Amino acid sequence: DMLVATTRARSDVPGVVFSGERGAGLTMENIVVSIPPDSVRKPGAVIYPKRNPGNPANEFVALKVEPLDKAGSVDWFRRVAGPKGRLLIFVHGFNSTYEEAVMRFAQISYDTRVNAAPVLFTWPSKGSIFGYLYDRESANFSRRALESLIEQAGKDPRVGEITIMAHSMGSWLAMEALQQVAIRQGKLPEKLRNIVLASPDLDVDVFREQLDEIGPEQARITIFTSQDDRALLVSRRLAGGVQRLGSVDLTQPDVQAAFDKRGIDVVDLTQVRAGDSLNHTKFAESADVVQAIGARLIAGDKVSDTRLSLADTIGATAIGTAQGVGSAIGAAVSVPGAIVSRDERERLGTRLEDVGRNLGGSLQTATGN
């Protein structure tokens, strides 16, 4: 049972709710997505419907799609939020259709099993490997809307605690929005407890400047990295060779020292294996990772807790300081109908195969192999 806030335009294609085009203003939807039982699905896996209307017994299916106004959004939060009023805002990354963003967030929310009201902020991505520059501009186009969402959540007396989780290019969007909120208000909202950046497609120099603008604050920052992230390798090439935050080399003493100085927790997932051939969504697709994250955060422990580190649990490398992710991140998502038509799903399957082939060629060019 999630709230979707989007800057996308509505789609004219049957079975597709929103397109990759840019819309006017921020639109709210309540979507309920069903998750197949654990007996037919491994944690970390998203099983898309093969045809409409989908089978909730073994596929992810959207059972409800309802437009909401401001009053409806307030009613949704009252119904979904727990007694502590926890809120999780997720910002997806590059090359994500609306349907993919919804289903992936449903999976993350369910598999972490942490009690928070789940809000998906989805921006106009083309859903194409060739749409990188368009997506980048669309993320920039959506920044003010995300700022407004964060500010409203911070001021709402019904909200007790906020976690922002962002993936890939969404990390740049999230940090830009937070930077502007801090500049405008003088600081980040006091209710903001955690900032989680997964495989951030973010220039390391830009990240440093964003932190300087944000200044000292109470939000704990955790970054999930992987040196074998092939998507970020291509992104680095497109960015003129500048290192991406999500693929930094944590074995370098100066890198670790820089994170320690800023009180940032970093978990290196390089040694973790998942179903993603690009190694770009390990945080969500690895059953060990997503369950360990949920278990740590439900218990209120930080990622690098010495009693039982996340690294020990999932075979990763954790670098931590006295700060960590000690609050809730995640949300319980109840069971969801097909918001993807059969033709759209077949098109998506073909597109993903093409992406793998094209990206493989780009990687060979980038690495010289």
Tell me the pLDDT tens digit for each residue of 202-251: 999 999 999 988 876 668 898 999 988 888 988 898 888 888 999 998 87
Phi first, then psi, for residue 358 (nearest 5°) are -70, -40
Please say whether the dihedral angle defined by the alpha carbons of residues 46, 113, 96 and 44, taken in this order, is positive or negative.
Answer: negative
Contact 44, 111 (CB under 8 A): yes
Q: Show the domain range for 151.
A: 2-367
pLDDT of 43 above 50: yes
Instruction: Record the pTM.
Output: 0.81
Give pLDDT tens digits for 108-147. 999 888 788 999 999 999 999 899 999 999 999 999 999 9
Residues 291-320, mean pLDDT to the nearest whole number:
49
Q: Using a pLDDT cut of 90, give the percent of the chain over it.
A: 49
More confident residue, 132 or 348: 132
Residues 322-334, mean pLDDT to the nearest whole number:
29
Give pLDDT tens digits for 83-106. 889 999 999 999 999 999 999 999
Give pLDDT tens digits for 151-192. 999 999 999 999 999 999 999 999 999 999 999 999 999 999
pLDDT at 292: 66
pLDDT at 353: 44
Chain-wide mean pLDDT for the chain?
Answer: 80
Q: How confident is the model at residue 340 (pLDDT cuts 50, 70, 90)?
A: very low
Question: What Cα–Cα distance (Å) separates residue 128 from each residue in 37, 94, 140, 166, 242?
Answer: 31, 8, 18, 19, 23
Exposed, middle or buried, 304 (CB in 10 Å: 0-12/13-18/19+)?
buried
pLDDT at 229: 87
Q: How confident is the model at residue 295 (pLDDT cuts 50, 70, 90)?
A: low
What lies within 8 Å, CB to CB, of 348 at 6+ separation is 48, 97, 99, 100, 340
Q: How confident is the model at residue 328 (pLDDT cuts 50, 70, 90)?
A: very low
Lowest mean pLDDT among 5-9, 263-267, 307-311: 307-311
Q: How many CB atoms lie within 10 A of CB 132?
A: 18
State the total domains in the chain: 1
Q: How confident is the model at residue 367 (pLDDT cuts 50, 70, 90)?
A: very low
What lies within 8 Å, CB to CB, of 166 at 6+ separation is 90, 91, 93, 173, 174, 175, 195, 196, 197, 198, 200
Q: How confident is the model at residue 296 (pLDDT cuts 50, 70, 90)?
A: low
pLDDT at 137: 98
pLDDT of 199 above 50: yes
CATH for 63: 3.40.50.1820
Q: Using a pLDDT cut of 70, give the percent of the chain over it.
A: 77
